[in-house]
Amino acid sequence: MKLEPGIAAVISGAASGLGEATARRLASHGVKVAIFDKNADAGKAVAADIGGIFCDVDVTDPASVEAGFVAARAAHGQERIAISCAGVGWAAKTVDREGKAHSADMFRTTIMINLVGTFHIASMAAAGMSTAEPVSADGERGVIINTASVAAYDGQIGQIAYAASKGGVVGMTLPMARDLSRAGIRVNTIAPGLFLTPMLRGLPQEAQDSLGAQAPFPSRLGDPAEYADLAAFMCTNAMINGEVVRLDGAIRMAPK
């Protein structure tokens, strides 16, 4: 698929971090971007800056997601690109030092945002894409890109909920790609390592440097623009389908 004017995209979590970088990258090619987020101030600012629109969307709520797609399609037409970057990550052990069990609410919320929210975006985008006219000689109608994490493979102590949610995203990538192959819709997932997102940007520089040094090469935190580069490449290369790509500088996370 060509990234060009006339193509529409929906990106969740695009008010900041990986999603914002990707929104800016696609918009630089003339793609019309709809930003799905709960941070209205930041989301509206990014949308205004790139000539897109902001939709106040709670990815855990199917009705909210559906309303977002209705608004996005009314403004830009049928999206051909759907990217999920909305996510949360809290630290908690299965049982803490005092013998208290992991919060069920925290676990449930993490799964709902990171996994179920990703499913909502992907499934509703696919429903719209599947009846649209193809945009390439291959019969491609759209591309869906999900965001997992290296925690899906080597989750650290305290990442029970986060690793479970991201493992679920990895697990649904191939069957979703197979499901949607008959409609000409590709599905891929990016599994980032340690990136300089707002969560890490709030840490002291010494802590940022220490985390970045864990990556063999380059020994630094990833730049969200590098995530955006891979997302853009996945959009344009039709043979990348059903794939999960680690974007991590060869890092393998230690237990803690």
pLDDT for 152: 97
153 part of the active site: no
Q: pLDDT tens across 123-154, in order?
A: 999 999 999 999 999 999 999 999 999 999 99
pLDDT for 199: 76
**Rounded to whole angstroms, how far apart are CA atoms 75 and 53?**
8
Domains of the chain and CATH, by start:
8-195+223-247 (3.40.50.720)
**Residues of the chain below pLDDT 50:** none
Rg (CA), the chain: 18
**Rounded to whole angstroms, how far apart are CA atoms 238 and 143?**
9
pLDDT for 204: 85
* DSSP code for 45: H
Task: Please state whether the predicted TM-score (pTM) of the whole model is above 0.85.
Answer: yes
**Rounded to whole angstroms, how far apart are CA atoms 47 and 241?**
29
For tokens 């900041």, name the residue. 16
**Rounded to whole angstroms, how far apart are CA atoms 234 and 163?**
24
pLDDT for 207: 83
Q: Which of 36, 107, 119, 162 is catalytic?
A: 162
